[in-house]
Structure 1
């Protein structure tokens, strides 16, 4: 659709296997985005409440702090990983970290200005120091959005992927067939 407002945008499709890990070595969580209407979200939460009632006997054997932690993680994941159903074709995943709550582990905190707004940014190093966590491992393909410069952008990104160790990177570049609106 439109990967960035008013600019030649790209979408990066990543290999999510690294973020399906069950350990906490990265200091981040990941989840596929859910595309729910307000009513569908309400229904999902009601199903959770019903399952809690059905499993009350078992849940009474689980330490209270653990239950609270799991429920909090559920609510946090919903707040970070929910979007309007109109975006469903994106099939997006989110990688998230809550500063002050999660241990940063390998994340690096910086301050940068994005769109003229100074912000705190947590960066995940993609230099390969952790196996599977490099640009060549993570980038599955790049989608070039509508632009009159698609070819130039594609070649430049393929060059960057080549430098990052992605073999035959040009094969991983896709171009949006949607006509550019001017």
Structure 2
């Protein structure tokens, strides 16, 4: 069920930075790439679901701690006081509720979050990001699933309880700049926000703090231009995003599967706005030992998943594989 007009406006007030970046990406006709192994890419396509992994086993799990360290001095300073005053102007005691929930969440954030990483991708780029190929290339063969940028707007199906957040690269000053803009919009819309149940406003305010904590990275990683798909099943569960046990890199683990359109699986999976045939712009094959073999396997799997003309969507980067002897 789509979000009603007033709720959408309310979310735009709180998620000011996310909405700004989402609209810019959609208007630029840009793509986002999900770098993974060819084996995982095949399973994602066959199962018609994106894999969301626990932050504790991700390559960059320590960055959650970085996000905490960036936000803390801002929330404890003058901007934090202004934020709390803006919330209390909507409903007395709202700020205490939001900050209490945020403090509780910070203590177990790493274990409670399941995520997948995306990287902004120029439609004319035929090579991909070397840093990503180094992480996923070699004998296992790296693949980038290329999605249209407008697909990052998961507002279209709120029942998924999944957020897509652009990463902010920087320190406390960079966060403070965006946070101040968000506070100004809360202050300017306080009369409108008062029309909502305070619990709904508390949920939105808490969510934006939590997503921010997962989406702030050191500026040294800025070339990645990352976005994060984020799901917190212990707080906001969805009947459509289900857990599954898999083994990745020899590590057995629980993932959550974010479904793509698959009405044959059940009426609840009739999600045309997430139809792989529509949102998947292409698949890029990185440096590997057997590109022709992987090309054919990907083509057949994509065809079986109902993706039209798969051979025209597969891009072979032709980056030479560095052998390690």
Relative to structure 1, is the Cα distance of residues 81 and 59 closer, same or farther in structure 2, using a 3 angstrom cutoff?
A: same
Instruction: Report the Cα distance in structure 2 between the residues aligned to 1:74 and 1:127, rounded to whole angstroms.
Output: 27
Equivalent residue in structure 2 for 1:8, among 137, 141, 151: 141
Q: CA deviation at 1:138?
A: 3.6
Equivalent residue of 1:25, what SS? helix
Equivalent residue in structure 2 for 1:70, among 191, 196, 204: 204
Q: TM-score, normalised by structure 1?
A: 0.77
Q: CA deviation at 1:141?
A: 0.7
8 Å contact 2:241–2:257 — kept in the other structure? yes
Match of 1:118 in 2: 252
Instruction: Report the Cα distance in structure 1 between the residues aligned to 2:276 and 2:296, rounded to whole angstroms.
Output: 17
Check if 1:179 corresponds to 2:320: yes
Check if 1:131 corresponds to 2:131: no
Equivalent residue of 1:166, what SS? coil
Relative to structure 1, is the Cα distance of residues 34 and 160 closer, same or farther in structure 2, using a 3 angstrom cutoff?
A: same
Instruction: Report the Cα distance in structure 2 between the residues aligned to 1:57 and 1:64, rounded to whole angstroms.
Output: 12
Hey, which of these two has a bigger chunk of helix by percent? 2
Instruction: Report the Cα distance in structure 2 between the residues aligned to 1:118 and 1:93, rounded to whole angstroms.
Output: 25
Instruction: Report the Cα distance in structure 1 between the residues aligned to 2:223 and 2:245, rounded to whole angstroms.
Output: 32
1:5-56 CA-partner distances (Å, limit 9, x unpaired): 643100101245555244423232223x22411242233224334554x538
Equivalent residue of 1:101, what SS? coil
Equivalent residue in structure 2 for 1:144, among 272, 279, 285: 285
1:132-162 CA-partner distances (Å, limit 9, x unpaired): 2444344221111122322322221111101
Equivalent residue in structure 1 for 2:311, among 163, 170, 173: 170
Equivalent residue in structure 1 for 2:295, among 132, 138, 154: 154
8 Å contact 1:27–1:105 — kept in the other structure? no
Deviates more, 1:131-140 or 1:156-165: 131-140
Deviates more, 1:164-173 or 1:139-148: 139-148
Relative to structure 1, is the Cα distance of residues 64 and 85 closer, same or farther in structure 2, using a 3 angstrom cutoff?
A: same
Check if 1:94 corresponds to 2:228: yes
Match of 2:237 in 1: 103
Instruction: Report the Cα distance in structure 1 between the residues aligned to 2:146 and 2:221, rounded to whole angstroms.
Output: 16
Q: CA deviation at 1:109?
A: 1.5
Instruction: Report the Cα distance in structure 1 between the residues aligned to 2:150 and 2:287, rounded to whole angstroms.
Output: 29
Q: CA deviation at 1:83?
A: 4.1
Q: TM-score, normalised by structure 2?
A: 0.47
Relative to structure 1, is the Cα distance of residues 138 and 120 closer, same or farther in structure 2, using a 3 angstrom cutoff?
A: same
Q: CA deviation at 1:106?
A: 1.0
Instruction: Report the Cα distance in structure 2 between the residues aligned to 1:170 and 1:83, rounded to whole angstroms.
Output: 36
Residue ranges of structure 2 left out of the alignment (5+ in a row) = 1-129, 264-269
Residue ranges of structure 1 left out of the alignment (5+ in a row) = none
